[in-house]
Amino acid sequence: MRFAAIYLLMLMVPSLTRAQELPPVDTSAAVAEKPSGSFSLNGYIKDMQTLSFDKTFNSLAATNLIHNRLNCKWRPAENLTLALELRNRLIWGDEVRSLPDYGKYLRNANERIDLSRVWFSNPSMVLHTNIDRLYADYKLKSVSLRLGRQRINWGIATTWNPNDLFNTYNFLDFDYEERPGSDAVIFTTEFTGFSGLEIAYSPGRSGPGKVLAGKYYFNAKGYDFQLISGIYGDRFTAGTGWAGSIGEAGFKGEFQFFSGSGSDKVQYNLTVESDYVFGNGWYLNGALLFNNNGLNRRITNPLEVNFNFSPSNLMPTKWNFILTTGKEITPLLSTNLSVLYSPGTNLLLILPGIRYSLADNLNADFIWQSFFASLNNFEALSHRGFLRVKLNF
């Protein structure tokens, strides 16, 4: 029964691991400066095999995913860009069999309008398509307006982003590089090359997901700063973020406050991180996250650790520390290791990964996760292995 509960917990998260790399580039984050009338199409196709084990490796669940993404951009006029991006996923195996009506869980929680389609579904296989970018972007000198499904990325830090009010992503979901989008409108104006104002609104999928907020950003003393304020659902929110360096080490942080409302307590999240690249090529990143309402005690049931993230709840535990290191061993081979620990609950994740380049546009990844916590004793709860091959085009 314990393994069944742990396995259900794992299904609540797309993939409880992370291939630690530099932050992925969001293809919708900026409009490419291309001649009017230009059209671009790119994407990828992946195959990923997942093997899930219990703590003693006596039980095995196998699932396969074929994932295709298409990114289309058209610039019909000099100041106007139209974008359409979608993901097609064919999933089959034990995870689908273990969760009835699996397809309904594949839609992003931030999306107001349902632009997804389950083409077919049976007890062991699902074919699903979701349009996660669909927007028009108009620019005129220092002013821009973007309307539609998009990613509004206000985060600065690498691992946790308290400032990211519009489309919180699960930092453990390594297989979604583009990260979720939301149905929204955003107005941006630049005062100088280093300062400006953004105002954005998203009606959300439900009342608590409605967001109206503004961000003022500027540069001072060699640091980039941002100030954020607005309404999240029916709660007032305000925060700040910064990015700079101390000597040769990067130094970033974010803080976000949410007022209490009804059954919701006053909430705030703070993250601070630093990274450094050594002369021999090793990369090191360390970060902490403080969630004032997070668990700070030992758990008796794995389901107490809820990984359904939201802007006000980036981790289920109060104190969280992650250390990541990686290195390019050869031009074709790179490796990484992340260790996440939450001392109050004695929660530990060990996440190693290896990437090998098979060709210029073809990569293979092997990623492993081990998940530990204290129930009666400190023990392994489950393990997962992923083998992924990705072809870009």
Quick: pLDDT tens for 62-109. Answer: 999 999 999 999 999 999 999 999 999 999 999 999 998 898 889 887
User: What are the structure tokens assigned to 173, written together?
Assistant: 């979901």
| Structural domain spans, the chain | 2-392
| pLDDT (0 to 100) of residue 19 | 38
Confidence of residue 34 (pLDDT cuts 50, 70, 90): low
Quote the CA–CA distance of 193 and 85 in Å, as a whole number: 29
Q: Taking the alpha carbons of 199, 245, 353, 269 in that order, is the dihedral positive or negative? A: negative
With H, G, I as helix, E, B as strand and everything else as coil, classify residue 2: helix
One-letter identity of residue 71: N
Do residues 69 and 178 touch, judged by C-beta distance below 8 A?
yes
- Residue closest to 314 by CA, chosen among 176, 158, 161, 167: 161
Do residues 226 and 154 touch, judged by C-beta distance below 8 A?
yes
- How does pLDDT run across 273-325, given as a tens digit for each residue? 999 999 999 999 999 999 999 988 888 777 777 777 888 889 989 999 999 99
> Partners of 260 in the beta sheet?
none
Confidence of residue 374 (pLDDT cuts 50, 70, 90): confident
Q: Which CATH class is domain 2-392?
A: mainly beta
Quote the CA–CA distance of 116 and 111 in Å, as a whole number: 10
Residue 285's Cβ-side half-sphere holds a number of Cα atoms within 13 Å equal to 23
Of the listed ranges 61-65, 110-114, 253-257, 352-356, the one predicted with least confidence: 110-114
Q: What is the mean pLDDT of the chain?
A: 88
- How does pLDDT run across 119-158, given as a tens digit for each residue? 999 999 999 999 999 999 999 999 999 999 999 999 999 9
